[in-house]
Amino acid sequence: MQAERARLVQDALMARDIADQRVLAAVNDVPREAFVAPELAEFAYQDRALPIGLGQTISQPYIVALMAQALELGPDARVLEIGTGSGYGAAILSRLAAEVFTVERHAELALLAHDRLAELGYGNVVVRHGDGGSGWASHAPYDGILVTATTPEIPAAIRDQMSLGGHLIVPVGDQTGPQQLLKLTRMSPDEFDRTSLGSVRFVPLRPGRAGDPRL
């Protein structure tokens, strides 16, 4: 698997526009096969999204790397991820930042991701089951916020949890229509610089349910 992972880093990331050495090292280190069902492990090092159950997907490695690179995280950073899914993205972020807070609306996925991350030793990740549509206020502000599900509009509550100089990466658009991956940088309390990182395809950001007491 290590050889396949190194090939993925070379062919799908370095051959494109991923140049951040810390991001490349993280993708090279995190065993993506551990974040999918055993019968899908053989596809783990193809550069594509894979189903993880409940109609959700583990993102394509290139997109995970693109988003991680765009967050410009330093080793002391505190990050929020909305949409834990398999936990793979959180594992990548955990190698780039000091603390990762991640929230998932499906209890089954949140529990599975929590157990996997603990078993693999990613000790600086906190998984919560609940609605991430309004962020996670108690640990704000965040140097980086990553939303891994698409939303027609950026929720103000999420934007307000960015630190000054912090970055937010979020796919904006409808589930069925075109989506743009946006990068916001907080220039002042009310000023946000905005750029597009290109068109993408994500599952929708949905309203949440009450939190699971096990997490």
- By CB under 6 A, residue 83 contacts ligand SAH: yes
Instruction: Determine, following the binding rule CB under 6 A, whether residue 181 of this chain makes contact with ligand SAH.
Output: no
Question: Which region among 81-89, 116-124, 154-162, 166-174 touches ligand SAH (by CB under 6 A)?
Answer: 81-89
**Site membership for ligand SAH, residue 103 (CB under 6 A):** yes
Give the residue among 138, 137, 146 at the shortest CA–CA distance from 166: 146
Q: How far is the CB of 207 from ligand SAH (least distance, A)?
A: 6
Q: Are 81 and 139 in contact (CB under 8 A)?
A: no
Q: What are the distances in angstroms from CA 46 to CA 17, 55, 76, 110, 178?
A: 18, 20, 31, 24, 24
Nearest to 175 by CA among 205, 197, 196, 199: 205
| Residue 188 phi, psi dihedral angles, 5° rounding | -155, 175
Q: According to CB under 6 A, which one of 66, 78, 79, 88 is a site residue for ligand SAH?
A: 88
- Least CB distance to ligand SAH at residue 105 (A): 4
Report the residue from 61, 133, 144, 166 that binds ligand SAH according to the rule CB under 6 A: 133
By DSSP bridging, strand 162-173 and strand 179-188 are antiparallel
Active-site annotation holds for 59:
yes
The Cα 142–Cα 157 span in angstroms is 12
Nearer to ligand SAH, 86 or 161 (CB): 86
Residue type present at position 73: L
**Closer by beta carbon to ligand SAH, 152 or else 165:** 152
Euclidean distance between CA atoms 168 and 192, whole angstroms: 10
Q: At its nearest, how many Å lie between ligand SAH and the CB of residue 173? A: 14
Closer CB to ligand SAH, residue 103 or residue 145? Answer: 103
Out of 61, 132, 171, 173, the residue judged to bind ligand SAH by CB under 6 A: 132
117-123 CB contacts, 8 Å cutoff, 24+ apart: 117/87, 117/90, 117/91, 120/31, 120/34, 120/91, 122/90, 122/91, 122/94
Q: What span, in angstroms and rounded, lies between the C-alpha atoms of 83 and 80?
A: 10
Between 27 and 162, name the residue whose CB sits nearer to ligand SAH.
27
Nearer to ligand SAH, 24 or 125 (CB): 125
Catalytic residues: 59
Q: Point out which residues bind ligand SAH (CB under 6 A).
A: 56-59, 82-83, 85-86, 88-89, 103-106, 109, 131-133, 148-149, 203, 205-206, 208
